[in-house]
Amino acid sequence: MRKAHLTKWIFSGLLVFSTVFFSADISAAAENECGTHGEDIIHQAYPAAQKTTELEFNIGNATLRLAADTFIGSDPHVIVCRLWPANPDLMLVAVPLMTKLSDYENEGDLDILVVENKSLQLRQRLRVKGIMNDDAIRIRGMTFDTARYQLAPGKTAFGIRIETEGSSRANPFGDTTLRLYTIDGEHLRSVLDNIVVRENVGEWDTTCAGNFQTTTRILTMARRTHGGAADIVVTETEAPSIFKVMPDGQCESFDEKKQIRKIQVTYDGKVYVVPRGLKREY
């Protein structure tokens, strides 16, 4: 039993975990490594882009936006870059192509680019349609996950994690989803789609009393293979808690027993087949 810090739990950002045999460097994952190259990357990948402000460009009906600093903050609609440790000559770039931006609803695709680190020449790209759409459940952040997802000898995947947060105070909700991509010849392709790696849910009286649960899922590459790629073992931990008003008027929290289980996710020759209960349900 402990004194509750409920408001902090509800409104704090979601901590991103990236673990494949080891814990990833969380602070590094929060750094945007575009540096001074953001505009050059845009010109290489989008020759028709028109600069409209110091940080914004238009291409067709879409808006591209550079980050104002080197930290991945609260704006999920800026271009994000990350050097790829598994392939040091390459840089990963995520480009939100936003066709609608408002306080209530956003719409957009995401271009995922692989560029040469020194020349910034475009190597591969993949457009993911509608991934930046949101409304009541808002996208709050996006980062690359460059843990060593070793699918097979000579073939490594990288991830993109997207954090969301619901708008209901009485029923707080937030999650982090992960997608994995790999280079396949001249193309970039998806190999794992939309697995939820962290989820916070709750129901409370907006003062104290309520029930909450945090679910985390850690991905580990296994030795066993199916379909030509290593299996993924997902270690899922469900941590429920209850908040109650005590006789002295204090709001106290009580942790209930954690539930831990392991789920094996296998490759079918094209993609990892993620069980429905582990995917984000729209």
Q: Bigger pLDDT: 108 or 103?
A: 108
**Nearest Cα to Cα of residue 161 among 11, 15, 16:** 16
pLDDT at residue 220 greater than cutoff 90: yes
**Residue 58 has what pLDDT?**
97
**Residue 179 has what pLDDT?**
97
In this structure, the strands spanning 229-245 and 62-65 are unpaired
- Identify the band that residue 11 occupies on the pLDDT scale cut at 50, 70 and 90: very low
pLDDT digits (tens, 9 = 90+) for 47-96: 999 999 999 999 999 999 999 887 776 689 999 999 999 999 999 999 99
pLDDT digits (tens, 9 = 90+) for 135-147: 989 999 999 999 9
> What's the rounded Cα separation, in Å, for the pair 80 and 93?
6
Q: What amino acid occupies position 141?
A: G
3-state secondary structure of 183: strand
- Identify the band that residue 29 occupies on the pLDDT scale cut at 50, 70 and 90: very low
> What's the rounded Cα separation, in Å, for the pair 44 and 4?
51
**Residue 282 has what pLDDT?**
60
pLDDT at residue 1 greater than cutoff 80: no
**Residue 30 has what pLDDT?**
64
> What pTM was computed for the model?
0.88
The four Cα atoms 141, 24, 180, 223 give a dihedral, to 10 degrees, of: -160
φ, ψ dihedrals at 183, nearest 5°: -80, 130
pLDDT at residue 4 greater than cutoff 80: no
**Nearest Cα to Cα of residue 179 among 5, 2, 18:** 18
